[in-house]
Amino acid sequence: MSGSQDMSILSLVLNASLVVQMIMFILMLISLASWTTIFRKWYSIKDAQVQTEAFERDFWAGGDLNTLYQRAMNNRGESGALERIFEAGMREFIRGRQQKGLTDRTLLIDGARRAMRAAYQRETDALESNLALLASAGSVSPYIGLFGTVWGIMHAFRGLASVQQATLASVAPGIAEALVATAIGLFAAIPAVVAYNRYAHDIDRVCIRFESFVEEFLNILHRQA
């Protein structure tokens, strides 16, 4: 086996100490979970953005609120987050108007507001789910990789104790094996950090649209009450 083959990434991983190999395996699992979450969150956020734009377009087109409410009720399994918020507020508003003796406009609007706020919290929580995994992967992966590197370097220098004359050729493979752990840690951390920051920004923008819609819809209900 030639020297270049001995120093390949695969050879360094296979020849690393057991502890370093376990750390590399943990980092690969973290990276796999991170990339799975990245693709899933991208799809869910993109879907929420598209459905929000579609419902806002239908809502502000001047359609009848009862018609939109019936459509939301009939397509509950396929409706978007904003449509479900609208449904919650409209349902509570209609229920309050049908309740005998409830004629106070403030109570009607407050009931709709509370219902939409509860739905808003549920939808926000669903959008933010698994973001903590990306944050954790981005923060702990470099340190896990660094631990593997430190351990590998310690193992390499301990091996030099039995060698009478230490040379760069004798210590280089062990140090290179250890540094692979840091590289894998960075490979797991960097995409997770970038995705977390991007998705947190996108979710904040979507939530701002939810909040704006709730306030504007409450104004419409206030006039109808």
Closest to 15 (Cα-Cα) out of 175, 184, 164? 175
The confidence score (pLDDT) of residue 100 equals 55
Cα(221)–Cα(215) distance, rounded to whole angstroms? Answer: 10
Residue 81 lies in a domain: no
The confidence score (pLDDT) of residue 4 equals 45
**Intervals of the chain under pLDDT 70:** 1-16, 100-104, 159-174, 225
Residue 13 lies in a domain: yes
Under a CB-based contact definition with an 8 Å cutoff, are residues 216 and 60 in contact? no
- Residues whose CB falls within 8 Å of the CB of residue 24, separated by 6 or more in sequence, listed in order: 13, 16, 148, 180, 181, 184
The confidence score (pLDDT) of residue 1 equals 40
Domain count, the chain: 1
Residue 120 lies in a domain: no
Residue 17 lies in a domain: yes
Residue 94 lies in a domain: no
Longest Cα pair distance anywhere in the chain, in angstroms? 97
Under a CB-based contact definition with an 8 Å cutoff, are residues 144 and 26 in contact? yes
Residue 116 lies in a domain: no
The confidence score (pLDDT) of residue 149 equals 84
The confidence score (pLDDT) of residue 65 equals 86
Residue 121 lies in a domain: no
Cα(69)–Cα(112) distance, rounded to whole angstroms? Answer: 14
- pTM higher than 0.85: no
The confidence score (pLDDT) of residue 175 equals 76
Containing structural domain, residue 9: 3-65+132-224
Residue 105 lies in a domain: no
The confidence score (pLDDT) of residue 7 equals 56
Closest to 78 (Cα-Cα) out of 50, 57, 59, 115? 50
